[in-house]
Amino acid sequence: MDAAVASTASRGSKDLRILHIGTGLGYGGVQVLMATLIREQQKMGLDAEAFFFTDRGGFDYFRSLCPIHIGSESSLDDVISKGRFDIIHTVTYVAEELSASIRRTGFRGAVVVTTHQFGEYERSLAADCVTAVSAAVAASIQDRYASEVRVVRNGVDTSRFHPMESGLAGKPIIGWVGRCADPIKDFDGFLAFANAMSGSFAFEVVDGSATDFEVAGWLPPETAVRRKLPWDEMPEVYRRLRASQGFLLSTSRSEAAGLNLIEAQACGCPVIAPAIDGIPEYVARGASGFLYDRDDGLEGIRAAVDLLYAPGRYEEVSRAAAEYAARKHPAEKMCAEYLGIYEEALQRRGKHATLAPRGSRH
């Protein structure tokens, strides 16, 4: 047993240290997910830190949560060397840089890679375990990894994202959340839909683009555009949509998981989204929301809207959405599943440490 393994075994589970690595610290679903996971890991007694190669202004997600290292200020080598981490849990996009750091620092812990995007896996990084955020993503990368790609679905912090009863006068609000500048999110679809339905609905756009994409001119007058909204304000956004009897609309071309869909549902906000990639794994079709065929364009969305607003249906879907998110996708479940993955990864490295933090697993 080498020194690192011995150290982990002797320290026991309560001292387990995890370094999460992401590319840019911006305003995206991956950052939200990492923050949610770290928060949950801390609740379970695990010790986590995060490293991002670039700072794109998303520091708020991690404020008061854990130590954050940015590539422009700290070298990854130093962070790994000094941190005495047992696990490096990384996104797939940083394989080259991370491989070099692991080589240089002689890191002997386990490496877990999570793929957040359809078809994205960088095999040059020697991972002890590879996970994907949906079965669709796992299937898209399985041929590039010798062992089974494990599916750990994204989770939502239900202590923050939960329904609250409050009525809101006025038109139902249709929300769109994402980076308008990202062609994968296809904001054009929302522009088309909002302008086609502007008489019946109001609209709210939460844009996480790094720079202002200047979309306001193409939106109907009764549209609120919010840029780079702090994550802890998102529950209020979804509750506002719910209170207005509105819904969250996704127009994405590709979506590995769609964390915003889960967060919205957790707040009782129904979702209408395209039936693509990982989305069907995150929406109880016809119960917590409705899926449409992207090839049907606006007609597909309109048909889903008709279903949602059939007499008596909205409240039923809203309740089902909150129940579905809390039951199927709670952060606790995600955290426990990752813990199992960490354990497996360490075992592959010849470690047999019990990772369950004291008092958190039975």
Partner 1 sequence: MRVLHVNLVCGHGGVETVLATLMREQRESGMAADIFCFIDRGGAANYDGLGKIWFAGPDSLTMTILEGKYDIVHVVTYAAHSTVGCLRKSLFRGGVVVTSHGVGAYEDALRSDAVVAVSNAVAESIQGRYARPVRVIYNGIDTRLFFAAPGRSDEKPIIAWVGRGSDPYKDVGGLFALANSGALPGFQFVMVDGSSEGEEPANWLPPESSVIRRMPWKEMPDFYRRVAASGGFLLSTSRSEACPMNMLEAQACGCPVIAPKIGGIPEVVIDGSTGRLYERASGMSGILDAVSWLYSGDNYDRASRTAADKAASDYSAKRMCEQYTEVYAEALKSHRAGALDKAARRVLSTVMSSVYAGRRLVRRPKPPARGTAT
Exactly one of 2, 78, 232, 299 binds partner 1 (CB under 8 A); that residue is: 299
> Taking the C-alpha atoms of 227, 230, 235 and 236 in order, what is their torsion angle to the nearest 10 degrees?
-60
Q: Which residues inside 213-242 make contact with partner 1, applying CB under 8 A? A: 214-220
Please enumerate in sequence order all residues whose Cβ is within 8 A of that of 295, keeping only pairs 6 or more positions apart, or say none. Answer: none
Please enumerate in sequence order all residues whose Cβ is within 8 A of that of 120, keeping only pairs 6 or more positions apart, or say none. Answer: 92, 93, 141
CB of 13 to partner 1, least distance (A): 48
CA distances from 258 to 62, 68, 99, 282, 328 (A): 20, 25, 28, 7, 14
- Stretch in the footprint of partner 1 (CB under 8 A) among 19-27, 79-87, 226-234, 290-298: 290-298
CB of 29 to partner 1, least distance (A): 20
Task: Give the side-chain half-sphere CA count within 13 A for 158.
Answer: 19
Q: Which residues inside 163-202 make contact with partner 1, applying CB under 8 A? A: 181, 183, 186-189, 191-196, 198
CB of 182 to partner 1, least distance (A): 10
Tell me which residue of 6, 115, 94 sits closest to 50, measured CA to CA: 94
CB of 195 to partner 1, least distance (A): 4
Q: In what order do the strands lie in the sheet with 202-207?
A: 223-227, 202-207, 173-178, 247-249, 271-274, 289-292
CB of 283 to partner 1, least distance (A): 20
Q: Which two tokens stand for residue 68?
A: 């954050």
Between residues 161 and 187, which has the closer beta carbon with respect to partner 1?
187
Tell me which residue of 206, 2, 24, 224 sits closest to 107, measured CA to CA: 2
CB of 102 to partner 1, least distance (A): 30
Exactly one of 298, 306, 310, 315 binds partner 1 (CB under 8 A); that residue is: 298
Between residues 100 and 196, which has the closer beta carbon with respect to partner 1?
196
Please enumerate in sequence order all residues whose Cβ is within 8 A of that of 321, keeping only pairs 6 or more positions apart, or say none. Answer: 264, 265, 266, 268, 269, 270, 271, 284, 288, 289
Between residues 95 and 205, which has the closer beta carbon with respect to partner 1?
205
Between residues 189 and 268, which has the closer beta carbon with respect to partner 1?
189
CB distance 112 to 127 below 8 Å: yes
249 binds partner 1 (CB under 8 A): no
CB of 308 to partner 1, least distance (A): 20
Total residues in contact with partner 1, by rule CB under 8 A = 25
CB of 250 to partner 1, least distance (A): 13
The full DSSP string for 107-173 is --SEEEEEE-STT---TTS--SEEEESSHHHHHHHGGG-SSPPEE----B-TTTS--------SSPE
CA dist 271 and 279 (Å) reads 11
Between residues 126 and 298, which has the closer beta carbon with respect to partner 1?
298
CB of 216 to partner 1, least distance (A): 7
CB distance 236 to 217 below 8 Å: no
152 binds partner 1 (CB under 8 A): no
What string marks each residue from 250 to 279 as x (binds partner 1 by CB under 8 A) or -?
---x--------------------------
The residues binding partner 1 (CB under 8 A) are 181, 183, 186-189, 191-196, 198, 214-220, 253, 294, 297-299
